[in-house]
Structure 1
């Protein structure tokens, strides 16, 4: 089931701490498709929080650790 999941990351959000989340998720869940984009158009969220897009739904958190936990929770 996890191989059907796709997580998109905004490279502009990497400076907010999302880059280690991207790397950790890639290492822990190699069967999930991870995609980096220059901009995902969520600029208001991007300025204040870490975020990723899972199945067209934005997942955001105030810190990289919390975002990682949220993504892991979604995966199951």
Structure 2
């Protein structure tokens, strides 16, 4: 079974994203010749991920040259499909975090019930 960072593996070896509602990917139908393998790989690995395929994303200059995707409406592109996939995987790592990001409300809520031994409080 595949290891899923930050999540328990599912039966089919798929991974689920925590906080996936804050992550969206949009592929251009006209770019699928270059980015289609990335789309299929992401759909297989992350079946709960919000992925759209639009008829045209109006990025024609980029679309004719390299594989690309809009991640949360920001362009991510690669030299080839493998490069694009690796960039997307690296960029998705924050969505896999098990522990909350330090300084956030979630981290403070998690730490509010614990006592810091170095503070001298008991």
Q: TM-score range by the shorter chain?
A: over 0.9
Structure of larger gyration radius = 2
Tell me, what secondary structure is at the counterpart of 2:48? coil
Higher helix share: 1
What is the aligned-residue RMSD (CA, Å)?
0.9
For normalisation by structure 2, the TM-score amounts to: 0.59
Residue in 1 aligned with 2:50? 33
Higher relative contact order (CA 8 A, sep 6+): 1
Q: How many residues align?
A: 75
Deviation at 1:31, TM superposition (A): 1.9
Deviation at 1:64, TM superposition (A): 0.3
**Structure 2: unaligned runs, 5 residues or longer:** 1-18, 94-122
Runs of 4+ in 1 over 2 A off after TM superposition: none
Of 25, 28, 43 in structure 2, the residue corresponding to residue 10 of structure 1 is 28
For normalisation by structure 1, the TM-score amounts to: 0.93
Higher strand share: 1
